[in-house]
């Protein structure tokens, strides 16, 4: 199983799509009918563990065929509680992918987003009233702290529990197919030529980095 952790707005949905096109499954057997692809061919299901049907099934104790799933993305959840998830469902972990824009680029990107996706008290893990009293510099300092903790926690869990892992810096891993191929090679059946044909079909080299 391939697990994806790390930061938001760092190419994780693209990574799920690419892996799906490379033949990896992203949905448990029996649930495919609820998550049909978009008209573009892009999967509608990106963060499996946030989906209501899946969450309800886990809460009710319904059996989910996790062996039929190759890729699960759960950014913050896996960053902080990766082994709890693995241990709970006895997943076999083949590779953990940790996506990030880095500290300063991550801060710039968060402020560049529309107001509905800018830093919030929830992301900064603090009380809303305290958050409202912070200035821009204080918020940026808090973002640095949270991102360090998130990426650091993901890396340390992989080291502590012996999971193979790769840190994928965005946008490099989207724009550099050789770099991405080498990172994914342990879990791929394709050679580079086959990989590149699929990569080039869904990747826009003018991907916006704003």
Q: What is the mean pLDDT of each run of 10 residues along the chain (210 residues)?
A: 92 93 93 82 82 92 94 94 95 97 80 72 86 91 89 96 97 95 97 96 61
Query: According to the model, what pLDDT value does residue 207 have?
Result: 47
| Strand order, beta sheet including 95-100 | 71-73, 2-6, 95-100, 165-169
Q: Do residues 43 and 16 make contact, with C-beta atoms less than 8 angstroms apart?
A: yes
- Output the six-digit token pair for 44: 């509608």
d(CA 188, CA 152): 26
Cα Dmax for the chain: 54
Q: What residues contact 139, with CB distance under 8 A and at least 6 apart?
A: 119, 124, 131
Query: According to the model, what pLDDT value does residue 117 have?
Result: 66
Query: According to the model, what pLDDT value does residue 34 have?
Result: 86
Q: Say what the pTM is.
A: 0.89
Give CATH for domain 2-202. Answer: 3.40.50
d(CA 54, CA 75): 17
Query: According to the model, what pLDDT value does residue 113 have?
Result: 67
Question: What is the 3 state secondary structure string of 27-54?
Answer: CCCCCHHHCCCCCCCCCCCCCHHHCHHH
Listed by start position, the domains of the chain span 2-202
């Amino acid at each position: 199983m391939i697990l994806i952790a790390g930061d938001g707005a760092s190419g994780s949905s693209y990574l799920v799509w690419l892996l799906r096109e490379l033949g990896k499954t992203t949905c448990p057997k029996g649930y495919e009918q609820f998550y049909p692809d978009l008209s573009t061919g892009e999967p509608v299901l990106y963060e499996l563990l946030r989906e209501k049907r899946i969450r309800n099934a886990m809460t009710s104790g319904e059996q989910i065929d996790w062996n039929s799933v190759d890729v699960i993305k759960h950014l913050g959840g896996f960053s902080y509680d990766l082994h709890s998830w693995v241990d709970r469902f006895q997943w076999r972990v083949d590779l953990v992918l940790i996506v990030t824009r880095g500290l300063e680029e991550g801060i710039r990107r968060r402020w560049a987003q529309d107001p509905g996706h800018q830093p919030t008290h929830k992301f900064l893990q603090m009380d809303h009233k305290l958050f409202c009293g912070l200035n821009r510099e204080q918020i940026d300092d808090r973002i640095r702290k949270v991102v360090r903790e998130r990426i650091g926690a993901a890396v340390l869990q992989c080291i502590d529990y012996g999971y193979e892992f790769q840190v994928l810096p965005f946008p490099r891993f989207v724009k550099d197919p050789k770099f991405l191929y080498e990172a994914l090679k342990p879990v791929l059946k394709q050679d580079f030529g086959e990989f590149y044909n699929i990569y080039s079909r869904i990747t826009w080299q003018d991907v916006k980095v704003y």
